[in-house]
Every structure is written in C-alpha cells, then in structure tokens.
Amino acid sequence: MSFQHLLPGNLYYMIELVNIKKSFGDREILKDVTATMESGKVNLIIGASGSGKTVMMKCMVGLMEVDAGHIQYDKQNFTNLDVAGRKELRKQIGMLFQSSALFDSMTVEQNVMFPLDMFSMGTLREKKKRVLECLDRVNLKDAAKKLPAEISGGMKKRVGIARAIVLNPKYLFCDEPNSGLDPQTSLVIDQLIKELTHENNMTTVINTHDMNTVMESGDHIVYMFQGQKQWEGNNKDIIFSKDQKLNDFIFASEFLREAKEMRQMDMFKDKDWREQFKKQAEAGSDEKKAAE
C-alpha cells in the first residue's frame, strides 16, 4: 500500500503507475514499470523508439489495458474502474495527439468547442467566450474560422492544446508534441505547455524525443529503456547523471556532449545549486556506505 498521498505539498503524487506490465503476443513491451507523475509539474517520458513510452502513455489514459499492475489517479484505481467511472475521470483529462487529431470537417472554433458542446450546460455565448479565451491563450484567435487543412502544423498543435484545456483538465497528456515542427515552433509549444501546467497546476505528462524539451521543460523525467524504467530525475539531475545508457541516449552527438559540459560549468557557478549538489552527493555516499 502506498502512503505517498499523505506527503505534504509538492510531493503529492497525482498519477502512480504500480508494477505495470504489457505484452503484445510474446513481445514484452512494459516490464514491471513503477513510476509517479507529479502534480503541477511537466513530467516527461523519454526513451528511444520501441522503448515502450507510447504504450505506457496509452495505458495511462486507458487506450490500452495493462496485463498486470495498476494505474492510480489521485488515489483512484483507474485500472479497476468500470466504464462509467472511466468516463467520469476522463472528463478531467486533456490530450494532445502526435497528429493533433483535429476533426477535419470542423473549423478551429468548432474543434475547440466540441468538448464544451458535449459536456457543458452553458449557453452558446458562454461557450464561445470560453473558446475564444482558450484560442487567445494559444495565440490563435484570428484562426477561429479556419479549417484544420488551412493552418500549419504548429498551429494545429496549438489548436490541439486549446481543445485539450478547454474543460480545465487536471491532467494533460501530450504525445510527441514537437514531432514534425521546426525548432522555433517547438520552443513555442514547449513554453506554452509549461506555462499552462504551472498556471493551472495540472499534472502534465509528455512523451518526447526532443532534447530541447528535456532540458527546458523537464521538471520530472522518466527514462525508459527496453520496456523498463532506467532512470528518474529532473533536467538538472540529468546533466550530472552517471547512467551510461541515459548519457548515450541524451548526449548522442559530439555537439550535445560539449553542450552538456558547458551547462555543467554554468550550473557549478550557481552557489545554491553547488550546495544542493554537494548534499545530494553526500547523501548518495552515505546510502552506499549503509548498504555496504
């Protein structure tokens, strides 16, 4: 039994994955993964292609069923919930898909209004106001009357974000939000997701390959390797991590290795961080001694 919900403040874990396993035929995709997605933070799931991160996200939102283990939302066991219970919980979930998944035949405004039309009892005027608020938040007020086919990939992602947040969800899932986007647009999307997470105190889970997202937005990072959780930490820990597999994945090129060293030097200039790092290193060596 977990008592993490009794912990104060920021340690209140919103989504917990407990010993989850998933296989397709003989192929084991998720091998006993336990992880937590923390409240009010941008949680990243990173890993090479085929490491199981998309399957993990699909299991978390219920698009796939786990073979063993369970997933808890705010202490509520999602895996054992019946159809009605899941439907109710899903009203608190927003998701941005890799392909944006906008409805082709609807305008941008109608796409964002769709969840409101389905679940909100407000008047048309109130709904339109909320839609314009969301579109304004993602800087797309002028594109309200356009069809998805008439806007760019980056704009589609922003419409997808507006649609995902229109019902004020507690949980936001983003499946590779930067795929197919140029670096500048990727930055805009990352920044937007980060701001929305902190503004609304959502639990955001992002599945990504983008190293820029990892370094800029990773409040909490889970690194997956061959279906197992290999490493867990944040974007500062990652710079000093000694995990060889993680380093091989994150800092794959010469350029990135040099960038890492420069970032390390920059971070050591920060006194607070130096102190914190020392404490962590001491705690680590104490644990090692105790184990010996």
Partner 1 sequence: MEFKFFSLFGQFLLMLKGMFTKPENFRMYWKEFMNQCVDIGIGSLGIVVIISIFMGGVTTLQTAYQLVSNFVPKSTIAQVVRDTIVLEFAPTLTCIVLAGVIGSKIASELGNMRVSEQIDAIEIMGINTKGYLLFPKIAASMLMIPALVIIAGFLGIWGGKTAGVMSGIISNDEYWRGLRQEFKPYNVFFALTKSYAFAFIISTIPSFYGYNVNGGALEIGRASTRSVVVTCILILVADYGLSALLLANG
Binding positions for partner 1, rule: CB under 8 A: 61-63, 83, 86-91, 93-95, 97-99, 101-104, 114-115, 117-119, 173
Nearer to partner 1, 90 or 146 (CB): 90
Min separation Cβ 94 and partner 1, Å: 8
Min separation Cβ 97 and partner 1, Å: 5
Three-state secondary structure readout of the chain: CCCHHHCCHHHCEEEEEEEEEEEECCEEEEEEEEEEEECCCEEEEEECCCCCHHHHHHHHHCCCCCCEEEEEECCEECCCCCHHHHHHHHCCEEEECCCCCCCCCCCHHHHHHHHHHHHCCCCHHHHHHHHHHHHHHCCCHHHCCCCHHHCCHHHHHHHHHHHHHCCCCCEEEEECCCCCCCHHHHHHHHHHHHHHHHHHCCEEEEEECCHHHHHHHCCEEEEEECCEEEEEECCCHHHHCCCHHHHHHHCCCHHHHHHHHHHHHHHHHCHHHHHHHHHHHHHHHHHHHHHC
Nearer to partner 1, 47 or 115 (CB): 115
Nearer to partner 1, 6 or 83 (CB): 83
Min separation Cβ 100 and partner 1, Å: 8
Largest CA distance in the chain: 67
Per the CB < 8 A criterion, the answer to whether 50 and 107 are in contact is no
- Cα angle vertex 168, ends 44, 234, to 5°? 20
Min separation Cβ 203 and partner 1, Å: 15
Min separation Cβ 58 and partner 1, Å: 8
Nearer to partner 1, 62 or 69 (CB): 62
Min separation Cβ 20 and partner 1, Å: 19
Per the CB < 8 A criterion, the answer to whether 141 and 135 are in contact is yes
Nearer to partner 1, 60 or 222 (CB): 60
Nearer to partner 1, 116 or 221 (CB): 116
Min separation Cβ 280 and partner 1, Å: 38
Nearer to partner 1, 79 or 228 (CB): 79
Min separation Cβ 62 and partner 1, Å: 8
Nearer to partner 1, 156 or 229 (CB): 156
Residue with tokens 């607070």: 272
